């Protein structure tokens, strides 16, 4: 998001984090200086990433390239082409500015992409990676500023199968920890940048441990899909056997948690949900 308001949005995130860290730190001056340094060089200054997206996408990277459905009303951030024009990760401590922002709830909270009619195949290990724009609070922290999303896939455009979200049960104290959001996307920073940090397809799918990948983002395995009200065993087995053609991403707050009857709420005060940078598959045909 290249607008002034996106910078305000990110700045506000850091202000909230700064207040938390400063109030909880035994050494206020050191922590304050650390947060102010992040504001100065980590997030607001993103000049090293300004040449992304590239004019020509690498043909060896099967990126989702077609917007099937998009209706976000987030002012200034609702250009859906940003979700298919390339991956422009900002790094471990900085969110990308080239993204499509979802609403928190309603129809605008969902984005559906495809690979232009091609099928994402079920191969060994992780089959696709979803890239959002989270970032780690500090280099020594296990806390992340993120906007979680629910990820579902479909072969026919009617039956969408998703992943197991039953492990969701964060408390206020750990709601910004990745481990509190099993099965969700939009959690891990994006290191891959198609202009400044070029990686091969094999590198993108290389694990660095604990669910993290060399190029960042959140990896998903088709074999981990489960049934749900919109996905019976027939649809599930078809996807596991033949692959899928469409991917649906929805802001977590726009999806009902069956245990509570309300959305999967995450701790922020912003006006939009997940920010989609793109999706890459390991194999399509």
172-209: per-residue pLDDT in tens?
778 899 999 999 999 999 999 999 999 999 999 999 99
Residue 257, C-beta contacts closer than 8 angstroms, at least 6 positions apart: 165, 168, 263, 264
Percent of the chain predicted with pLDDT > 70: 81
Q: Rounded distance, CA 236 to CA 216, Å?
A: 27
22-36, 84-98, 204-218, 271-285: least confidently modelled range? 22-36
* pLDDT of 44 strictly over 80: no
pLDDT of residue 40: 32
pLDDT of residue 50: 63
Among 83, 73, 80, 141, which Cα is nearest to 108's? Answer: 73
160 or 12, which is more confident: 160
pLDDT of residue 26: 37
* pLDDT of 46 strictly over 60: no
Q: What is the DSSP string of 47-100?
A: GGGTT-S-SS--TTS-B--EEEEE----TT---GGGGTS--B---TT---SS-E
Q: For residues 159-171, give the mean pLDDT.
A: 94
pLDDT of residue 37: 34
226-247: per-residue pLDDT in tens?
999 999 999 999 999 999 999 9
Helix/strand/coil for 181: coil
Helix/strand/coil for 212: strand
The pLDDT mean for the chain works out to 85
Percent of the chain predicted with pLDDT > 90: 71
* pLDDT of 269 strictly over 50: yes
* pLDDT of 136 strictly over 80: yes
Task: For residue 216, give both structure tokens.
Answer: 């960042």
pLDDT of residue 118: 98
285 or 169, which is more confident: 285
């Amino acid at each position: 998001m290249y607008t002034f308001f996106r910078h305000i949005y990110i700045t506000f995130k850091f202000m909230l984090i700064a207040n938390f860290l400063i109030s909880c730190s035994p050494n206020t001056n050191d922590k304050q200086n650390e947060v102010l340094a992040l504001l100065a060089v980590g997030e607001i200054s993103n000049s090293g990433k300004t040449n992304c997206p590239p004019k020509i996408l690498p043909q060896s990277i099967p990126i989702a390239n077609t917007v099937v459905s998009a209706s976000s009303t987030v002012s200034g951030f609702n250009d859906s082409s940003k979700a298919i024009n390339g991956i422009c990760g900002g790094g471990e401590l900085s969110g990308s500015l080239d993204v499509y922002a979802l609403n928190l709830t309603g129809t605008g909270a969902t984005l559906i992409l495809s690979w232009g009619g091609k099928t994402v195949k079920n191969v060994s290990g992780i089959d696709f990676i979803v890239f959002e724009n989270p970032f780690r609070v500090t280099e020594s922290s296990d806390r992340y500023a993120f906007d979680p999303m629910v990820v579902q896939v479909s072969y026919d455009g009617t039956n969408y199968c998703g992943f197991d979200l039953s492990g969701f049960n964060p408390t206020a104290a750990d709601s910004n920890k990745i481990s509190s959001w099993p099965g969700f996307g939009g959690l891990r920073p994006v290191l891959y940048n198609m202009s400044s940090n070029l990686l091969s397809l094999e590198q993108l799918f290389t694990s660095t441990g604990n669910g993290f990948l060399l190029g960042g983002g959140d990896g998903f395995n088709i074999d981990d899909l489960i049934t749900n009200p919109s996905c019976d065993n027939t649809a599930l087995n078809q996807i596991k056997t033949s692959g899928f053609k469409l991917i649906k991403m929805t802001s977590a707050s726009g999806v009902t948690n069956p245990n509570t009857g309300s959305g999967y709420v995450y701790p922020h005060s912003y006006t939009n949900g997940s920010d989609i940078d793109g999706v890459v598959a390991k194999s399509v045909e």
